[in-house]
Amino acid sequence: MENTKHMSGIKRQVSAPVKRAPAKAKTKGAAATPARTAAPRAAVASPGWTFFSNHAHVLFCLSADPTMLLRDVAARVGVTERAVLRIVAELEEAGVLQRQREGRRNRYMVIANAPLRHAVEAHCTVGELLAVINRR
């Protein structure tokens, strides 16, 4: 206890401020990924940015495996399952993806003739993009 402080006529003892260790930065990548995810993560040269959006990454995953669980898509893309649900809903609303129920699972069908949305690449279709990306 150091000084006394007068607040509203009441004397109070004030203790010295406590020094705390700096908070650890959250890590990205395998250390932050739960152990239960079995989907392999793609190698990323630079974790700061990528050429494609998360929407494109989700589309790439579902075009490669139309019955992939959204939990596995989330692990592969590196986002939450809730984010993938939102992205899938937006892709469906944009007419790029269709969901078909098969028992307890979903099958996702890519609408290949849908145009890309930005003016710079609007002359291309989703199918043309996927053809380039899926070529190995």
- List the CATH number of the domain containing 76: 1.10.10.10
Chunk the chain into consecutive blocks of 10 residues (it has 136) and report each block's average pLDDT, rounded to whole numbers: 54 58 56 48 64 95 96 97 98 96 95 94 94 85
Distance CA 133, CA 136 (A): 8
Neighbours of 84 (CB within 10 A): 24
Q: How do 97-102 and 10-13 pair as beta strands?
A: unpaired
Q: What is the pLDDT of residue 46?
A: 58
Query: 70 lies in which domain range?
Result: 52-136
Q: What is the pLDDT of residue 67?
A: 96
Q: What is the pLDDT of residue 35?
A: 47
For the chain, what is the domain count?
1
Which three-class secondary structure state does DSSP give residue 10? strand
Kind and range of the H or E element at 63? helix 54-64
Q: What is the pLDDT of residue 81?
A: 97
The answer as to whether 99 is a domain residue is yes
Neighbours of 24 (CB within 10 A): 6
Contact 133, 124 (CB under 8 A): no
The answer as to whether 21 is a domain residue is no
Distance CA 136, CA 132 (A): 9
Q: What is the pLDDT of residue 93?
A: 97
Instruction: Kindly report, residue by residue over 22-36, the tens digit of the pLDDT.
Output: 665 555 554 544 444
Q: What is the pLDDT of residue 33?
A: 46
Residue 47's closest CA among 62, 23, 30, 34?
30
